[in-house]
Amino acid sequence: MKTLFDKIWDAHTVSTVQDGPTQLYIDRHFCHEVTSPQAFNGLRTRGLTVLRPDKTTLTADHNTPTINQDQPVKDPISRNQLDTLSKNAADFGLTLYALGNKKNGVVHIIGPENGYTQPGMTIVCGDSHTSTHGAFGSIAFGIGTSEVEMVLATQCILQSRPKTMRITFNGKLNKGVTAKDLALYMIAQLTTGGATGYFVEYAGEAIRNMSMEERMTLCNLSIEMGARGGLIAPDEKTFTYVKGREFAPKGEAWDKALAYWKTLKTDEGAKFDKELVFEAADIQPMITYGTNPGMGMAVNDSIPTLDQIDEAGRISFQKSMDYMGFKPGEKLEGKSIDYVFLGSCTNGRIEDFRAFTNFIKGKKKAENVVAWLVPGSWMVEKQIREEGLYDILIEAGFSLRQPGCSACLAMNDDKVPAGKYAISTSNRNFEGRQGPGARTILAGPLVAAAAAITGKITDPRTF
């Protein structure tokens, strides 16, 4: 009796170092411009080539502008990093979706979209949100640059086997509650270190009911509670999503793959190192109030008071309150905000744009709000236009930017100014994440849409 995780891990074990880590074979490797240059330099220094060039895919996303992408990138240091990526792709014979390519976009969005991401795979990338791909029933996790070099050189990685955890969500989600709210609720319950050392399988009715996009949002956020990754057993929804995509198996190969994928589930009675169960009905639309993703609460709730925080954590808690300009015990609903960011590998998919657009349809953007709507990829951008969402957004006073990571980590010009409040659908509210001094409130696409209309922190259900 094996868990889904065990099945995939065992199928990819090449060898095990005595008393040490597993040598794991990697099926799919993604790279972007920020965490790969030093790895390619390492290959050059050691005189190595890329072992399996067809298994690595490159994209430019972290450092790219979200306007005028057809013009040369202004910042010389960013441009150098993008040029370095192009040079590395050419030197080592790898596929790159550079700026301007119609398959370009955020790495964790384009992988699934193009059919690179498939059930049963091992997937890595020098990026912690690689956990996103676990939504397809694969073992996907973020790695450091030394490990990127290992994968390039040997298509393998050394990893100690994580413990397994199953998190079950019983029942149905309330109306107006999204996958993002579910994830923020879970992280608030577990804290940012609560799943460290574990690989999580998500299960239960609420998870089964989710679309692939929602599952990706959830798996994406696994890392924010410290988990190595999160995965969901593949089902008909998964197969339907993958079928027909450019790099998905075709014909006979499809039939063979499908037969195998159908075996990818946790056996009845298989043991996890830890099991947690939540009721979906307990979850409300969520926001964060502090400077890590574990500091979340229902949008209409109050921030904890100091005496609710354990003693060792009080310095950090107070520091976080000072940074955010909030007081312990305070209610945040109704507070003015300055920026809204819809995008990132967490909430930059077509469904997020549909949800946001449906909500704002026939209303007007608040005057005081700067809204950055950034599709996760050019494919999402195209869908936004084809489905008529674009016109509705423009009508309501919004505009659409070009794809990339954008304000999720603010490496490009999309920086929230110091002291300003941003309702952000991204994944991290760390100090300075969206620009030096920027104050980030994480939320799902509906809370973001409500804030974009009222200019305030608003419960989308009261609208």
Tell me how far, at minimum, the Cβ of 377 lies from ligand SF4, in Å. Answer: 11
Closer residue to other proteins, CB minimum distance, 159 or 458:
159
CA distance 408 to 425: 8
Binding site for ligand SF4 (CB under 6 A): 61-62, 106-108, 127, 129, 344-345, 405, 408-409, 426-427
Tell me how far, at minimum, the Cβ of 399 lies from other proteins, in Å. Answer: 25
Token digits of residue 87: 């040079």
Tell me how far, at minimum, the Cβ of 398 lies from ligand SF4, in Å. Answer: 20
Between vectors from CA 217 to CA 304 and to CA 170, what angle results, nearest 5°?
Answer: 70
Closer residue to ligand SF4, CB minimum distance, 155 or 220:
220
Tell me how far, at minimum, the Cβ of 459 lies from ligand SF4, in Å. Answer: 26
Closer residue to ligand SF4, CB minimum distance, 43 or 371:
371
Those residues whose C-beta lies under 8 Å from the C-beta of residue 437, and which sit 6 or more positions away, are 417, 418, 419
Task: Say if residues 114 and 210 touch (Cβ distance below 8 Å).
Answer: no
- DSSP for residue 329: T
Q: Is 125 annotated as a binding residue?
A: no
Tell me how far, at minimum, the Cβ of 340 lies from ligand SF4, in Å. Answer: 16
State the DSSP H helix or E strand holding residue 309, giving kind and residue range, or none if neither. Answer: none
- DSSP for residue 137: S
Between vectors from CA 261 to CA 256 and to CA 262, what angle results, nearest 5°?
Answer: 100
Closer residue to other proteins, CB minimum distance, 12 or 365:
12
Whole-angstrom CA distances from 117 to 67, 108, 114 are: 28, 9, 8
Select the binding partner of residue 77 from ligand SF4, other proteins, none (C-beta < 5 to 8 A, by kind). Answer: other proteins
- Find the radius of gyration of the CA atoms of the chain: 21
Closer residue to other proteins, CB minimum distance, 136 or 359:
136
Select the binding partner of residue 106 from other proteins, ligand SF4, none (C-beta < 5 to 8 A, by kind). Answer: ligand SF4
Tell me how far, at minimum, the Cβ of 463 lies from other proteins, in Å. Answer: 33
Those residues whose C-beta lies under 8 Å from the C-beta of residue 299, and which sit 6 or more positions away, are 284, 285, 286, 287, 332, 333, 443, 447, 457, 458, 459, 460
Among residues 430, 399, 374, the alpha carbon closest in space to that of 65 is found at 374
Closer residue to other proteins, CB minimum distance, 145 or 170:
145
Select the binding partner of residue 226 from other proteins, ligand SF4, none (C-beta < 5 to 8 A, by kind). Answer: other proteins
Tell me how far, at minimum, the Cβ of 234 lies from other proteins, in Å. Answer: 14
> 152-189: buried (b, 16+ CB within 10 Å) or exposed (e) per residue?
bbbbbbebebbebbbbbbeeebeebbbbbbbbbbbbbe
Torsions phi, psi of 458, nearest 5?
Answer: -135, 140
Q: Is 156 annotated as a binding residue?
A: no
CA distance 352 to 201: 23
Q: Is 345 annotated as a binding residue?
A: yes
Closer residue to other proteins, CB minimum distance, 146 or 240:
146
Select the binding partner of residue 160 from ligand SF4, other proteins, none (C-beta < 5 to 8 A, by kind). Answer: other proteins
Select the binding partner of residue 215 from other proteins, ligand SF4, none (C-beta < 5 to 8 A, by kind). Answer: none
CA distance 449 to 428: 19
Annotated binding site for [4Fe-4S] cluster: 345, 405, 408
Annotated binding site: 345, 405, 408
